[in-house]
């Protein structure tokens, strides 16, 4: 019993560490991009407006709306609080759509594409695994290298046959 606690305790610890690192990276990486997304949105909305004070006012308004006017640590805690409540804010790339709306509109297609792929992969993997256990010589010399090769081919490499 003690061995199981130790094992699951380690797994839980690594899960928590990985989760924290993923949240921090998800927050920091968009802010490390060279372009300012608020300036990009302001530029699109300002259009041909040559009044610098009006453009600055639009910039400040959107900066406040996205929360980029706050210090980084306050932005991070606001990000975490909003994520816990399921409020992911507005999309920079598809402004003024909310991120939750984008996810909701994409989740059906994601499930429709991923579920059959997961099921076929599971079935094929189990069948090939059973076959490999039954025929050891063929697995070592043919199936294992082939499976390793196909497993490491990127998706765009597999899709190339459909383009040509």
The pLDDT-based confidence of 163 (bands split at 50, 70, 90) is low
Q: Is residue 85 part of a domain?
A: no
Count: domains in the chain: 1
* Rounded CA Rg of the chain: 24
Instruction: Give the CA distances from residue 11 to residues 2, 57, 65, 100, 159, in Å, rounded to whole numbers and listed in that order.
Output: 14, 50, 39, 30, 36
Which neighbouring-strand residues pair with 98?
90
Based on DSSP, count helices (H) and strands (E) in the chain, helices before strands. 8, 0
Chain segment 75-122, per-residue pLDDT in tens: 999 999 998 998 888 887 787 788 889 999 999 999 999 999 999 989
Q: Is residue 47 part of a domain?
A: no
Helices (H), 67-139: 72-84, 99-134, 136-138
Q: Is residue 130 part of a domain?
A: yes
Chain segment 50-77, per-residue pLDDT in tens: 677 877 888 888 888 888 888 989 999 9
């Amino acid at each position: 019993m003690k061995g199981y606690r130790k094992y699951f305790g380690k797994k839980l610890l690594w899960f928590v560490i990985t989760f924290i690192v993923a949240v921090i990276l998800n927050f920091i990486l968009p802010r490390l991009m060279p372009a300012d997304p608020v300036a990009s949105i302001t530029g699109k909305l300002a259009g041909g407006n040559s009044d610098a004070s009006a453009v600055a006012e639009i910039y400040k308004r959107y900066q406040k709306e996205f929360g980029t006017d706050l210090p980084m640590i306050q932005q991070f805690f606001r990000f975490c609080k909003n994520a816990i409540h399921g409020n992911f804010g507005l999309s920079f790339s598809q402004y003024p759509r909310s991120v939750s709306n984008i996810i909701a509109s994409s989740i059906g297609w994601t499930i429709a594409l991923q579920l059959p792929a997961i099921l076929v992969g599971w079935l094929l993997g189990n069948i090939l695994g059973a076959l490999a256990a039954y025929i050891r010589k063929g697995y070592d010399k043919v199936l294992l290298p082939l499976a390793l090769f196909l497993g490491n081919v990127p998706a765009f490499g597999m899709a190339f046959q459909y383009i040509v």
